[in-house]
Amino acid sequence: MKNSLGSLSSFTLLGLVFAVVFMTGYYLSQSSYAATVLLDDNFNSENGGAEALNYAFVGNWAVSDGTVDLIGNGGTFDFLPGNGLYVDLDGSTNNAGKMTSKTFDLESCNYELQFDLAGNQRNGAIESVDVSVGSLFSESFSLNENDPFTTITRPISVVSPTSAQIIFAGFGVDNIGLLLDDVKFTKLDCSKPVAGELLSLDTSALFVSGISSSAIWMVPTLAGIAGAGVYYIRTRVNNKEN
Ligand SMILES: [Ca+2]
Ligand SMILES: [Ca+2]
Ligand SMILES: [Ca+2]
Ligand SMILES: [Ca+2]
């Protein structure tokens, strides 16, 4: 049974495997990082706390492709009191808006996106929004009229460093849209493997990539050896299956 590392002795191969095991143990035992909040926006202090139709944010968000309304906090359009200000994703120009966040520079790590959505609270329509984070995450959500604010939490995995914006793209042309509040974007414990790694030998490329970001000092000397070791294991498994 030949493989590409067939010329190496069993003893050498055992050493390579040991190196991988050692590195994995080191990687998993590193002291944990505190979670870092990258964005935590409840909209309550926008516009001095007052409602504003077709609102133009300054700072965290820009609105394009239509408009959104800033409503609530005891104002004329406070359909769900007790939530301070929040956003009606279909503003007052008969063209629902697209909210795009500032740009986040993301290192290889696990992140979490959280936000609250509620139904339009005004007519019987089901309203929808497309939510995305760069090319890392994309999902559509639809809610019924009377759905209360519901917290949605999604993991975002970054395998290689990138930059991304969070986008909430509303649908509709009747000035009555989904309600959005409490957007939170958090960087989680970077010492843990990014989701998708270590799940199977087929993800070895991702695994090595993850190590590179958290144990950068070992890369010049050991990453190549670890890659060879993981490759050997995978090759051996493949051979057994053939
Ligand atoms: Ca709020
Ligand atoms: Ca509106
Ligand atoms: Ca639009
Ligand atoms: Ca609508």
pTM score above 0.75:
no
Measured distance CA(67)–CA(46) in Å, rounded: 16
Proximal ligand: closest to the CA of 177: 4
In contact, 67 and 91? CB cutoff 8 Å: yes
Measured distance CA(167)–CA(98) in Å, rounded: 7
Greater confidence, 19 or 158? Answer: 158
CA of residue 173 to ligand 4 center, whole Å: 6
Local structure of 87: helix, strand or coil? strand
CA of residue 87 to ligand 4 center, whole Å: 14
Q: Is pLDDT above 50 for 49?
A: yes
Q: Is pLDDT above 60 for 206?
A: no
CA of residue 178 to ligand 4 center, whole Å: 7
pLDDT tens-digit profile of 208-224? 444 444 444 444 444 55
Q: Is pLDDT above 60 for 173?
A: yes
Q: Is pLDDT above 70 for 138?
A: yes
Between CA 108 and CA 114, with CA 112 as vertex, the angle to 5 degrees is 155
CA of residue 174 to ligand 4 center, whole Å: 5
State percent of the chain over pLDDT 90.
Answer: 64
Measured distance CA(104)–CA(120) in Å, rounded: 29
State percent of the chain over pLDDT 70.
Answer: 67
Greater confidence, 145 or 192? Answer: 145
DSSP 6: T
Look up tokens 């935590």; give the residue.
40
Proximal ligand: closest to the CA of 41: 1
Proximal ligand: closest to the CA of 115: 1
CA of residue 154 to ligand 4 center, whole Å: 25
CA of residue 131 to ligand 3 center, whole Å: 14
Tell me phi and psi for residue 7, to 5 degrees.
-80, -15
